[in-house]
Structure 1
Amino acid sequence: MKTAFAAASLAALLTAPLTVADAFAEPAEYEFDKSHTTIRASWNHLGYSEQSIHFTDYDGVLLLDFEEPENSTVDVTFSLADGFWVGANQDRFVNHLNSGDLFNTAEYPEARFVATAFDTEDGETGTMTGDLTLLGQTHPVTLNVELNKRESKPEQMGGAMTAGFSARGTIERSQWGLGYAIPAVSDEIDLVIETELLLVEDDEDSAE
């Protein structure tokens, strides 16, 4: 479910229009703009409604090559014990999420997503496949990814080069041993990631 993933993670796969400078570019380091990143997992609850949780405690390595996406690296780790947001007055539910019925965070406090393949034909849409490790089990996850925009933000927002992505995917939680309350609560989990990734400038770049 973390998939996260990561959020972000997705960014790596998409190529963008090339400039002369891009032609010789190597993978560049990006970081999550966490104030503009949402990682959400949703499910059907007893047929009554669609419910969701947000994952809020995550970080990782994002080395993105927009010319040759296969050279990119996306490796995101989620800290789960204090990493859920489900809305106000939900302490009981959060405790259940952390319990042995579900994420069992006392024994498995982290989840990890590592991208293994990127595929795009038009440089704006594509897929990212990766390995999601959760509850000590690892299985592949594929996300459909769209590059929304890649350019510098306005100066009043810091002017950083930013890549914005949307990602969607569906997993079956039972694959990772998250079988609690199936089928009353759906096995299928819809993953939605909206993220803005900021280019990390090295000291030499920022000094110029």
Structure 2
Amino acid sequence: MKFFTATAIAALTATAALADPVEYVFDKSHTEISASWVHQGLSRQSMQFTDYDGTLMLDFDTPSNSTIDISFNLIDGIWPGAHHDRFIAHLNSDEIFNTAEFPTAHFVATGFETEDGETGTMTGDLTLAGTTVPVTLDVTLNRLREDGTAGFTATGTVMRSDWGPTVGIYAGPISDEVIITINTELDVAPDDAE
């Protein structure tokens, strides 16, 4: 769920040093956050998270000063493609996300590591259906423009069974392993833009 977060941006340093954390916002027209799994050993299927927001306070000079805190709407913030209504109803049921009780997923970053300023990892806590599990994302800084706009790719693998008898109970025909993929562009928030 990168997703999950486009949230891995704070794992990286960049050539432009910023003295303090700067607020960033998602460019949602150029952001894709998805989860994919294997269906019956036959094919890889995926869904996208479309309704998300949170706090992105980024310090490119000292990543440990950054704050990443993002919530995802699970009720109607997912697009799986064909048979949308039926699939969303299944995800909302108590067999999977139980959105009647837990309407959102929540990710909070807990650590950042990078050696070259272009690739790194971000660790964090992902809460689904009331259960919190640590996750790790591998992050690549694709580009940092002079105006501050930044582009990142992040990927990571989670196991549904780590969330116990909630998200993992319906093993059914799909894999326990789920790949989170995030491709995002981030803009400096208007109040922080020069």
Shorter-chain TM-score bucket reads over 0.9
User: Percentage identity across aligned positions?
Assistant: 57
Across the two proteins, how many residue pairs are aligned to each other?
A: 192
TM-score, length-scaled by structure 2:
0.93
Distance 2:77 2:128 in 1: 14
Of 45, 49, 62, which residue of structure 2 is paired with 1:51? 45
* Other-structure match for 2:14: 16
Task: Tell me, yes or no, if the aligned pair for 2:27 and 2:185 is still in contact at 8 Å.
Answer: yes
Of 93, 117, 133, which residue of structure 2 is paired with 1:139? 133
Which residues of 2 match residues 5-84 of structure 1 at below 5 A? 5-6=4-5, 8-18=6-16, 22=17, 25-84=19-78
Aligned residue for 2:10, secondary structure, equals: helix
CA RMSD after TM alignment: 1.5
Aligned residue for 2:89, secondary structure, equals: helix
Of 79, 93, 108, which residue of structure 1 is paired with 2:102? 108
> Mind listing any 5+ residue stretches in structure 1 that lack a counterpart?
153-159
> Mind listing any 5+ residue stretches in structure 2 that lack a counterpart?
none
* Other-structure match for 1:192: 181
* Other-structure match for 1:168: 155
Which residues of 2 match residues 82-101 of structure 1 at below 5 A? 82-101=76-95
Aligned residue for 1:97, secondary structure, equals: helix
Superposition deviation, residue 134 in structure 1: 0.8
Deviations 1:134-190 (A, max 9, x none): 1101110000000000004xxxxxxx5311000000000111131244263100000
Distance 2:2 2:145 in 1: 26
Superposition deviation, residue 90 in structure 1: 2.2
Superposition deviation, residue 13 in structure 1: 1.3
TM-score, length-scaled by structure 1:
0.87
Superposition deviation, residue 3 in structure 1: 3.8
* Other-structure match for 2:111: 117
Answer with 1 or 2: which has the greater Rg.
Answer: 1
Deviations 1:7-49 (A, max 9, x none): x11111110114xxx2x61010000000000000000111111
Aligned residue for 1:161, secondary structure, equals: coil
Distance 2:170 2:3 in 1: 23
Give the AA of the match of 1:52. Answer: S
Distance 1:190 1:181 in 2: 17
Closer, same or farther: CA 60–147 of 1 in aligned 2, 3 Å: same
* Other-structure match for 1:156: none
Closer, same or farther: CA 10–3 of 1 in aligned 2, 3 Å: same
